[in-house]
């Protein structure tokens, strides 16, 4: 692991969460550069306020373990193998785990290392259900299809899609993948629909592709899509996780080259909020 820079933590005792980064973006075809995302998210986290008054949780006194970044590779299959080995070892520690991307293909390595019964909730403007993209099957645009093929769709909920192709919609319907649509969220139904879905799971893995947000809120992403949800709508849904065990989280597709700081700040806020919500249950 590359151990610099890291999230700074002044807390003592056992870590409340573990963080590591995956600087991989080799299958990106539009705006490459999200391999630089992990360190930019860390920098934002180290510079935002992490006291949560509503929960009375102050992360300034929490021990957050940051393992640094994985070795950089441009070979997708090598990245997946490496990430599965690392994540499997960390899952055994039964600590809340945060993975910083990197492109969305990393999730095929991370989520698949969690127990099969773990619920999967992904926030994303795209379905990522293509059979292949740019002539390859291991792609950020097809990672979720690979997960469905390997594990099935029973535990998957997709939130916020607004940009997809006909092939993906057909696969979605064929496999009965559950969704909360962009339109549902605009109508204010997102939090309740999310609550209804996650109530059946003992533990959850959540994946945040930052392009689920409108580019007005998150301009620094690899594949921006106009007319998305607001940051407030996203956090109204994140707060639904207050009473659930979120064991794994990934945050992907942050591209610092096109960011003004807003996207990195949102990514850092996601980490801070989910750690605080987890601690509030204890």
Mean confidence (pLDDT) of the chain = 96
Query: Is 6 within a domain?
Result: no
What's the CATH code of the domain at 64? Answer: 3.40.800.10
Instruction: Name the packing angle between helices 231-238 and 262-280 (round to 10°).
Output: 20
- For the residues 237-257, what does the mean pLDDT come to? 97
Strand pairing report for 57-58 and 51-52: antiparallel
Overall number of domains in the chain: 1
Q: Which pLDDT tens digit goes with each residue over 179-202?
A: 999 999 999 999 999 999 999 999
pLDDT for 39 equals: 97
Q: Which pLDDT tens digit goes with each residue over 117-173?
A: 999 999 999 999 999 998 899 999 999 999 999 999 999 999 999 999 999 999 999
pLDDT at 111 over 90: yes
Range of the structural domain that residue 257 is part of: 17-280
First and final CA of the chain: distance in angstroms?
31
Query: Is 268 within a domain?
Result: yes
- Exposure string (b/e) for 141-166, b if CB count within 10 Å is 16 or more? bbbbbbbbeeeebebbbbbbbbbbee
Query: Is 39 within a domain?
Result: yes
pLDDT at 11 over 80: no
Query: Is 2 within a domain?
Result: no
Query: Is 3 within a domain?
Result: no
Query: Is 30 within a domain?
Result: yes
Query: Is 7 within a domain?
Result: no
- The pairs formed by 184-192 with CB atoms below 8 angstroms and a separation of 24 or more are 185/159, 185/160, 185/229, 185/233, 185/237, 186/229, 190/159, 190/229, 190/233, 190/236, 190/237, 191/236, 191/237, 191/239, 191/240
Pairwise pLDDT comparison (8 vs 57), residue with the higher score = 57
pLDDT for 12 equals: 80
pLDDT for 49 equals: 96
Strand order across the 178-180 sheet: 64-69, 17-22, 96-101, 245-252, 203-209, 119-123, 156-159, 178-180
Query: Is 87 within a domain?
Result: yes
pTM for this predicted structure: 0.97
CA 231 from centre of chain: 15
């Amino acid at each position: 692991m590359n151990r610099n820079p890291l999230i700074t933590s002044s807390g003592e005792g056992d870590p409340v969460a573990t963080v590591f980064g995956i600087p991989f973006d080799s299958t990106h075809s539009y705006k490459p550069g999200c391999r630089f995302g992990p360190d930019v998210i860390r920098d934002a986290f180290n510079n935002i306020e992490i006291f949560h008054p509503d929960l009375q949780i102050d992360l300034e006194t929490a021990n957050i373990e940051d393992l640094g970044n994985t070795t950089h590779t441009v070979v997708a299959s090598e990245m997946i193998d490496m990430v599965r080995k690392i994540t499997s070892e960390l899952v055994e520690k039964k600590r809340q785990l945060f993975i910083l991307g990197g492109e969305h293909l990393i999730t095929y390595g991370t989520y698949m290392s969690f127990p099969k019964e773990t619920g999967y909730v992904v926030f994303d403007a795209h379905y990522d259900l293509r059979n292949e993209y740019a002539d390859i099957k291991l792609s950020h645009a097809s990672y979720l299809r690979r997960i469905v093929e390997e594990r099935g769709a029973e535990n998957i909920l997709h939130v916020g899609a607004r940009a997809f192709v006909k092939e993906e919609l057909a696969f979605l319907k064929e496999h009965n993948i559950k969704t909360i649509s962009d339109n549902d969220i605009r109508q204010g139904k997102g939090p309740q629909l999310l609550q209804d879905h996650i109530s059946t799971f003992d533990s959850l893995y959540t994946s945040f592709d930052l392009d689920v947000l409108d580019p007005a809120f998150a301009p620094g992403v690899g594949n921006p899509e106009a007319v998305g949800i607001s940051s407030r709508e996203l956090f109204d849904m994140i707060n639904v996780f207050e009473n659930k065990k979120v064991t794994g989280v990934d945050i992907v597709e942050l591209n610092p080259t096109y960011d003004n700081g807003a996207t990195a700040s949102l990514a850092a806020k996601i980490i801070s909020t989910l750690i605080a919500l987890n601690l509030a249950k204890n």
